[in-house]
Structure 1
């Protein structure tokens, strides 16, 4: 089992517009949980199968492979994704953080165990995941910003 964690400031010094607040980020993460296709480039389908007050079960399609995920909401703070099938077992966490000065950050944490038949080493897989999910954090923030500009958030 291995863990990869990456935190990025939401409103960094590169003058991203518009400036996002906590509610924008939370609502964007909820939208991503409900339909990740605008946020995750490699995901071609995302369908909700079951919904409760603080959870949903969804079916996603990535690289032509369908799988199911259990999604748990910790309002205004974190969303946890748990793959229910597929080549890996583990958790994906999307957390909203603030530093001592109140600067917003988003942290993606991935804790996985590879399937026994996986030929890639955990270290190589972790590196691939870190690269992929760093891009996913950037894409998520860009998509949230565009939704704010379009009035969807």
Structure 2
């Protein structure tokens, strides 16, 4: 009789375990972190956080204990800030964060238009700049998300 009771108890525990485990995992799903975009020319510890349009970048950053270096509300909605690895993990798991991107240095050539008094007025739509030989190379820190916008 005891053996039958022990077997029935074991069978009941085994039968109910998957049900209990299924309800526990369904009640608290793991948050999916926002994507992290990396860069070859990243500035260590510096990130650009893109938020949902409904969130205010300054208020959001301050609500999780961050001080934004810059806030963006036109091309993107977000902010630039320095983050530790733990802060990066917290930001990526926060509600309303669409993506996090490493801030990076970008470079390019700046070719200002040249015109002299003897030159005729430029034709609308025609290139009035100089050749690449006379351009100056410049390097600047520009948020890469803003550079793509």
Give the TM-score, by structure 1 length: 0.28
Per residue, is there more strand in 1 or in 2? 1
Larger radius of gyration between Structure 1 and Structure 2: 2
Give the TM-score, by structure 2 length: 0.28
Per residue, is there more helix in 1 or in 2? 2
